[in-house]
Amino acid sequence: MKIEVTMRAEHIYDLLLFHTYSRLSGFLVNVLGLAVIVAGGILLSTDRIGVENALFYVGAGFLFLSCTPLSLYLKSRKMIAAPCYKEKTVYTFFEKGFSIQNVGVENSYSWNQVEKAVSTPKDIVFYVNEGTALILPKESFHDYFMPVMKLIAENITRDKIYIR
């Protein structure tokens, strides 16, 4: 099964969001943003601050909540400019593994080389060789989605599969 991929920034952004918000630090930034907004509301309702200061709290909370996604979006835009994303990438799947061809170079991986397989809302990502992420957008699968997912389920142990 051959799958041609044209990478877009939104696919990288999806992976960056997954990495950030699946860790404690990403969760804590959201908690901090919400806590600042709630604190502003509580202080306003108990007449400890005025409306102007409450708006400052709300603005600061939204700043905390929006900084991370905005910075990840900008990072994905910068990353997509790399030469490896300019050309199409061809993934070929077979019983013993898969190969990836990009920029005239082909690399093959057996299923036991996959350290982790992650499903994000828009991508399937294979981690090989100490964290190298091979991104395969779900929209590129077309009719091959179920056969590839079957290969993944049959060949990668459950402890290495993360579906979101």
pLDDT digits (tens, 9 = 90+) for 110-135: 999 999 999 999 999 999 987 788 99
Give the pTM.
Answer: 0.82
> Is the alpha carbon torsion for 46, 52, 53, 56 positive or negative?
positive
For the chain, 164 residues long, give each residue's pLDDT as a single digit of tens: 899 999 999 999 999 999 899 889 888 999 999 999 999 999 999 999 999 999 999 999 999 999 999 999 999 999 999 888 888 999 999 999 999 998 889 999 999 999 999 999 999 999 998 778 899 999 999 899 999 999 999 999 888 888 76
* DSSP code string of 74-139: HHHHHHTTSHHHHS-EEEEEETTEEEEEETTEEEEEEGGGEEEEEE-SSEEEEEETTTEEEEEEGG
Residues 6+ apart with CB under 8 A from 4: 88, 89, 90, 140
DSSP letter assigned to residue 46: T
Q: How far is CA 2 from the centre of its chain?
A: 23
DSSP letter assigned to residue 161: E
Q: What is the pLDDT of residue 164?
A: 65
